[in-house]
Amino acid sequence: MGDIGLLGFGPDGWGLVLFRAGLMTLAVSVAAFLCGLMLGTLVAWGRVAGNGPVRALAEGYTVVLRGVPDILVIYLFYFGGRQVVAAIGTALGFPGPFDISGFVAGMLAIGLISGAGQSEVLRGAYQAVPKGTIEAGRVVGMGRLTLFRRVIAPQAMTTALPGMGNQWQSVIKESALVSVTGLVETMRQVSVAAGTTQEHFLFYAAGAVIYLIITTLSDQLFRLAEKRSLRGHHGAGF
């Protein structure tokens, strides 16, 4: 078993780089989750309210993303994306070389994957809003926007929060796949450190701890948000 001092923050320790790598994992996860949230909202809306073609497109997207390995999506965005950018760049007459960053490719790929899951959660939450409360909003003269903002969204959010928490956890774990692009996030950094020092067990264990810290803390945050949003919902009759 290795020297625990290797994890320290001193000049010989890997502590600082691991800390930075943890922050990068957090950054790419947040970016990807928000990407997925935008996409998921759009797709959920398309599936609930869209006309025929829109609905088909939205459903097609979820079907494709469910059936394709995540790592393939990342390769597609990183290597395939680079090819597309190069082709467009050359066509527009820019001098090469062309590149796209691992961060952007990872964010888009994980966002795309997560968007499919998030759209499911959001659609389910929308459908769980009691129809009567929507009618009550319409009958006092609310327009579509007010109805969504004041009646549908607050109730759907309460239902969606646990599911969205799960989606967030998945995004954090999937973010490890972005290491294949060379982006120095936790996974990449611990494998570099393990390779350099030959302390595999120590550094992969340290990597696990970093992921656990992030997932546990965010889990607490989601629980807090759930508790807040559940005010009033438990009691007689519900």
Partner 1 sequence: MTALTPGQTPALSVTGLRKNFGANDVLRGIDLAAHDGDVISIIGASGSGKSTLLRCIPMLEIPGSGTVSVGADSLSPKGGRLTRAEEARARRMRGHLGFVFQNFNLWPHRTVLQNVIEAPLFVQGRSRAEATDEAMALLEKVGLTDKRDAWPAHLSGGQQQRVAIARALAQHPRAILFDEPTSALDPELVGEVLKVIRALADEGRTMLIVTHEMGFAREVSSRVVFLHHGQIEEDGTPAEVFGAPKSDRARAFLSSHFDRNR
Q: List residues near partner 1 by CB under 8 A.
A: 130, 132-133, 135-143, 146, 150-151, 154-155, 158, 231-238
User: Following DSSP, what letter does each residue of 84-111 receive, concatenated?
Assistant: HHHHHHHHTT--S-----HHHHHHHHHH
Q: How far is the CB of 161 from partner 1 (least distance, A)?
A: 13
Cβ closer to partner 1: 96 or 141?
Answer: 141
Shortest Å distance, C-beta 135 to partner 1: 6
Residue 90 CA to residue 158 CA, distance in Å, equals 49
- Measured from the CB atom, the residue of 140 and 208 that comes closer to partner 1 is 140
CB atoms within 10 A of CB 175: 28
**Tokens matching residue 173:** 């774990």
Minimum distance from residue 15 beta carbon to partner 1 (Å): 45
Shortest reach from residue 122's CB to partner 1, in Å:
17
Report the C-alpha gap between 6 and 13 in whole angstroms.
5
DSSP secondary structure string, 10-43?
STT-SHHHHHHHHHHHHHHHHHHHHHHHHHHHHH
Nearer to partner 1, 152 or 176 (CB): 152
- Residue with Cβ nearer partner 1 (150 or 227): 150
